[in-house]
Structure 1
Amino acid sequence: MVNQTHPSLDRTFAALADPTRRAIVARLGAEDALSVSELARPFAMSLPAVMKHLDVLGDAGLVSRTKVGRTVTCRLEAEPMREAMAWLERYERFWTAGLDRLVALVEADAAADRAAALAPPATEPPKDETP
């Protein structure tokens, strides 16, 4: 058995496995920087719970935090996601090949249906009317 360990990749996928963390990443992707309070606002959870999610994202390298006075501002760091995308792209050829075969099958079936619809109706040969 081949043992390929990629600790940073594992942390990235583990961090993105949670829907709350994905929502935080999406918000940070849409806005340049947000305070922890702004990030926590739409979630029905305590501020410490949001902080724990931010810790996981930070450990994965997906979020950086800076503190100015009492305000902690978070920013999205894209490099770990680039690494994850590069890893996923290696397997894209498998998905693409399967989808290409599916498209060809559907198109062939649709072409056969169109040909059948355009063909003149089959007529029965005349019956011999001799008794």
Structure 2
Amino acid sequence: MRILRRTGTAIASAILVIAGSTLTASPAYAADYDCPGGSNPNALPGTATTPVSPVHIGGRAIELRYNRTARCAWGRITLGAPGDKIWVDWSRTLTGDHAPWAQLGVTQIATGTSKFTNAYNDAGYVMRACGQPVGYGLVCTGWY
């Protein structure tokens, strides 16, 4: 079993999903995930938001979105339905399969047809957005 570590201490506020196991890390490094302007993507500085590598499943669009000014990224699902889930995976490993990674911001549509995760620090890391619409399998964007 692999655990995402930073100098021997588990990275904070992360839920790691590895080989079907879920591990919750200590809050020691919560700042690693913080973005300037807060975790709400709508509150980030600047206006440049770029969708990156969208994927489609069951009529839904799952995309990783990125704000260059804040160096933050988040996941978004559109054309969805209540119960559809969205989250981001975050990794310090820039090449290969990016393992291990932290699963961040798991959320789901409660009402309406779209939802976004919180925004997370992307400076020097790679991220992807993943989703699981009700009645469909898991799908992820490419790493960016």
TM-score relative to the length of structure 2: 0.23
Greater strand content:
2
Greater helix content:
1
TM-score relative to the length of structure 1: 0.24
Which structure has the larger Rg over C-alpha atoms? 1
